[in-house]
Amino acid sequence: MKGSTINYYWFIDRTYLVMANAPAGGCTADKRGPTQVRVCSSRYPDKSYWIYRVSMDHEFQAGTANVKPAGGWPLLKNKDANSPYSAGLTQEDVVVSSVEWYKLHGNTSPADVITNTEATFFSSEYSPAEFILSGKILPGSFTILVLNNPGGEAISSIFQTHSRNYPCMAGAIEWNSGKGYPGSDELQKFLQATGYYGSLDWYHQCAHRHKCEKDRSRSFTFRQDAFRTVKEISHPWKKCAAAIDHSPPFVGKNDEGYRQDE
């Protein structure tokens, strides 16, 4: 139950996982964002993973909400079966579980995620010995929504505007040129599953800061699970022309204990 409770908390907090191609040198050499939210896994040596949420604190003040880490993320740094918070799980456990779910099912809708918080879907490559034993949860029980972003454009700073990048495009698409669009576009499913289809701040950041251009030949249709649709979010982006900033410092002033990378 602990695992499914954590999973649901992150879901309602609009948490997402950026899945990017790692640079030469691998994931640990990826310095495009704060390492406190980066996760590396030997299972996926050519990828780097970054966990975020777009805060709803200033949702109705377009352009002011900061990108933040998932709530309670540092508590999962080390495996501790006695911890009342981590349920003996690590950050890598959560990432592997979520990525395997995404590989099998894509980004499921909010209703599906809620229904399957106790789900036992898992990849055939896993053996029973790889259960997450503390909660008897199989890989796939964590279903953090995945932003497939090979170029890493959505890797962001936290708690500040400098180097802040929103999850504007989803799929194997080069943001600046639009190469890969529309064939690899996954944006509608990502917006539906995260609830960002109801975020004016998401629209404002992508349209104005990232200079994303609408493809008016295609339209979105969303099921309103929890949020009212923002009328401006009616078409996918075909490219986001603004240059992406991945320069430090990556951590702004905060009261959650995050400090600059050493």
Residue 128: asked if its preceding bond is cis (omega within 30°), the reply is no
Instruction: Let me know if residue 258 belongs to a domain.
Output: no
Q: Residue 92: inside a domain, yes or no?
A: yes
Query: Does the residue 121 lie in any domain?
Result: yes
Q: Of the candidates 17, 12, 1, which has an alpha carbon nearest to the alpha carbon of residue 154? A: 17
Asked if the structure places residue 184 within a domain, the reply is: yes
Helix/strand/coil for 225: coil
User: How many domains does the structure of the chain reveal?
Assistant: 1
Domain that holds residue 16: 2-240
Whether residue 238 contacts residue 215, with contact meaning beta carbons closer than 8 Å, is answered with yes
Please report whether residue 246 resides in a domain.
Answer: no
pLDDT tens for 52-109 read: 999 887 777 766 778 999 998 988 876 655 555 555 678 998 898 889 889 888 887 5
Question: What DSSP assignment string belongs to 112-168?
Answer: HHHHTTT-----TT--GGGSBTTTTB-TTS---EEEE-TT-TT---BSSSTT-----
Q: Over the stretch 130-170, which tens digit does the pLDDT of each residue have?
A: 444 333 345 456 889 999 999 999 999 999 999 999 999 99
> To the nearest whole percent, how much of the chain has pLDDT over 70?
79
Is 56 contained in some domain? Answer: yes
Q: Is residue 226 part of a domain?
A: yes
Residue 72 lies in a domain: yes
Across-strand partners of 145? 16
Q: How confident is the model at residue 122 (pLDDT cuts 50, 70, 90)?
A: very low
Q: Indicate yes or no: pTM above 0.85.
A: yes
